[in-house]
């Protein structure tokens, strides 16, 4: 099967042969299908059955905030799947990384749980790294509790130094399985807390479960304002190139049916920065879950809320489990992020 470098216009041709993406994150994944470049560092190829009629594509791209792995995305038209084209594309794009900073890096792919993409990644030797769930909490489903704690709640600007430092410590901790590189306060703000990232507002909650390093801060939330268009419902991807069926990082997606999109939150617990964060049996852990629920309740009084929960977030995972088990929340999507060996460029 003829495989060549992806060039300008191929992305439009691919959209004509691919089935519609089933999630906004699927649209984001296809943003990787652009011509190879050195800034950002990306290599991409396309397969054709006849000239100008592509049937699939593959890309490997740098991961700025998680530089120890590179993102990979492979997609083949539905009618062509199962005939080996995906493997050919994968091998071809791996070969294109030769002589670049991508060569020798482990790879990372995000797949929709239970999808053919998951099976394909596993066949290539990829293994589970983290699980991501996106859940929706209806407005008013969690009546605010904790009376008398109004003094513990603080509404802050998204550029707050206290918030940014806390976010950096938290983000580093909850990504232990996919380590972040050395990050500055400025990088964190640009990637997550800036106007360009879509950050709209932020709230801090102090509590007994707070850490001394964070000045008693127990939980925080950052909201993201989105318009009701095809990209609505995608939380900032930490400067990464995309998310979806076979690529992405830190990205939440929501339904596009409602005329008024829900509020999208990054909800974090500072307990998750502790070395014993995985110990779910102690009183401090229970207090941390309660604080996170209180903050979520106060921010979901008037609007539906969508939050993203990864397996690296024990406190928010416990809260999500409780909300889902009680029927208070609904799971919208579940993703598996898989890790693979370095690209074989031989």
- What string of DSSP letters covers 199-215? EEEEEEEE-TT--TTTT
Take residue 59 and report the two structure tokens written for it: 């890309």
Cα separation of 201 and 155, whole Å? Answer: 8
Burial class (CB in 10 A: 0-12, 13-18, 19+), 183: middle
Q: What is the pLDDT of residue 229?
A: 40
Beta-carbon contacts of 182 under 8 Å, excluding residues fewer than 6 positions away, are: none
| Residue 142 near residue 297 (C-beta atoms within 8 A) | yes
Q: CB neighbours (10 Å) of residue 327?
A: 8
Cα separation of 298 and 45, whole Å? Answer: 48
Q: Give the total residue count for the chain.
A: 346
Q: Where are the beta strands (DSSP E) in 141-238?
A: 153-156, 199-206, 217-224
Cα separation of 188 and 196, whole Å? Answer: 12
**Residue 75 belongs to what H/E stretch?**
strand 69-76
Nearest to 108 by CA among 312, 248, 250: 248
Bridge-based pairing state of the strands 305-310 and 263-269: parallel
Take residue 144 and report the two structure tokens written for it: 């605010």
Beta-carbon contacts of 328 under 8 Å, excluding residues fewer than 6 positions away, are: 137, 138, 141, 142, 322
Tens of pLDDT, residue by residue over 128-137, are 999 999 999 9
Q: What is the pLDDT of residue 244?
A: 31
Nearest to 336 by CA among 118, 59, 27: 118
Q: Which residues of the chain have pLDDT under 50?
A: 228-234, 237-239, 241-258
| Residue 266 near residue 90 (C-beta atoms within 8 A) | no
Give this prediction's pTM.
0.88
CA atoms within 13 A on the CB side of 9: 3
**Residue 38 belongs to what H/E stretch?**
strand 37-38
CB burial string 184-195: b at 16+ within 10 A, e below: eeebbbebbbee
Cα separation of 10 and 205, whole Å? Answer: 48
Q: What is the pLDDT of residue 346?
A: 67
């Amino acid at each position: 099967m003829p495989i060549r470098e992806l060039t300008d216009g191929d992305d439009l041709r691919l959209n004509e042969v691919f089935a519609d993406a089933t999630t906004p994150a699927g649209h984001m994944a296809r943003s990787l299908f652009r011509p190879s470049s050195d800034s950002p560092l990306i290599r991409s190829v396309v397969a054709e059955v006849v000239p100008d009629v592509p049937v699939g594509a593959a890309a490997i791209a740098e991961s700025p905030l998680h530089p120890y792995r590179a993102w990979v995305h492979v997609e083949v038209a539905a009618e062509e799947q199962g005939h080996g084209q995906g493997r050919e594309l994968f091998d071809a794009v791996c070969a294109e990384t030769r002589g670049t900073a991508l060569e020798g890096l482990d790879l990372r792919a995000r797949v929709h749980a239970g999808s053919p993409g998951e099976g394909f990644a596993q066949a290539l030797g990829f293994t589970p790294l983290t699980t991501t769930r996106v859940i929706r909490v209806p407005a008013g489903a969690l009546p605010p509790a904790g009376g008398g704690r109004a003094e513990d709640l603080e509404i802050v600007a998204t550029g707050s130094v206290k918030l940014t430092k806390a976010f950096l410590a938290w983000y580093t901790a909850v990504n232990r399985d996919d380590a972040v590189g050395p990050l500055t306060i400025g990088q964190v703000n640009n990637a997550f807390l800036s106007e360009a990232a879509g950050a709209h507002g932020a709230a801090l909650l102090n509590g007994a479960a707070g850490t001394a390093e964070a000045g008693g801060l127990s939980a925080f939330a950052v909201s993201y304002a989105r318009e009701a268009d095809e990209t609505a419902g995608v939380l900032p991807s930490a400067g990464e190139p995309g998310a979806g069926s076979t690529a992405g990082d830190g990205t939440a997606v929501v339904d596009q049916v409602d005329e008024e999109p829900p509020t999208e939150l990054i909800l974090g617990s500072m307990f998750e920065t502790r070395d014993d964060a995985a110990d779910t049996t102690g009183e401090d852990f229970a207090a941390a879950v309660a604080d996170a629920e209180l903050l979520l309740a106060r921010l979901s009084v008037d609007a539906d809320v969508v939050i993203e929960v990864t397996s690296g977030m024990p406190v928010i995972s416990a809260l999500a489990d409780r909300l889902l088990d009680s029927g208070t929340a609904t799971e919208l999507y579940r993703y598996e992020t898989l890790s693979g060996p370095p690209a074989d460029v031989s």
